Structure 1
Amino acid sequence: MYKKLISPSALPWLLLLGAIVCEIVGTSFMAVAARSDSYLGYAWMAGALALSYYLLSLALRAISVGVAYAVWEGLGLVGLTLVSVWLFGEKLVPQELAGLGLALLGLACVTLGETHDEEAAA
């Protein structure tokens, strides 16, 4: 019989992951464009950030807005920090590393605390 490639409960999280990747890409292009005065960089930034918000809005159909926004913003922060170290040669001090670790811990707590409709009905 036919099997679905993606379970319905995983799709919103994949959309959210796509939104996070687009946010990281868009914000990275913002940094590139600001440093090089490239109008093309600003166009890529605008397109990637618009797609990020669109994918986030689709994910909100199944994930609560507080959880989705926290995950989107938190993982975007961590991802963008990694990109800034890797691509732009920025350095992190121990306080920044500790803050990123605490942000990830907070994201885990928020995400694990989300209730689902099936659980709420029980």
Structure 2
Amino acid sequence: MAWIIIIVAGLFEVAMAYSLKMSDGLSHLWWTLSFLATAALSFGLLAYALKSLEVGTAYAVWTGIGAVGTAALGMLAMGDEVSFARIGSIALILIGVVGLNLAGSH
């Protein structure tokens, strides 16, 4: 169950980054409130999941979901540059998160 919570927390991290971008420097009230709400949910869920998970692995998965999800959202929906280097870097993040997770599972 804790891993599902980490995944949801990571998705809220993606929503947090999107809301922060859309807030235009925290100058749009509703996007700023969305940023604050999704940040609170993301961190709150992470804190709850850390009750039963190792901090290093859980944090790596949480940040990995946030980084990969935000980069993908930027490229797919927000006009961020798409390049082989960016896609390769996302793949390296995924490999690192999976590797860390497998290394901690004995």
Deviates more, 1:23-32 or 1:34-43: 34-43
Question: Which residue does the alignment assign to 1:88?
Answer: 78
1:64 partnered with 2:54: yes
Quote the offset at 1:82 in angstroms: 1.3
When normalised by structure 1's length, the TM-score is 0.81
SS at match of 2:45: helix
> What is the aligned length?
106
Runs of 4+, deviation exceeding 3 Å = none
Cα deviation, 1:53-74, whole Å, max 9, x if unaligned, reads: 0000111111100001101111
Return 5+ residue gaps in structure 2 as ranges.
none
1:102 partnered with 2:92: yes
% identity of equivalent residues: 25
User: Higher relative contact order at CA 8 Å, sep ≥6: structure 1 or structure 2?
Assistant: 2
The structure with the largest alpha-carbon Rg is: 1
Return 5+ residue gaps in structure 1 as ranges.
1-10
Quote the offset at 1:21 in angstroms: 0.9
Question: Which residue does the alignment assign to 1:75?
Answer: 65
Aligned residues: CA RMSD? 1.5
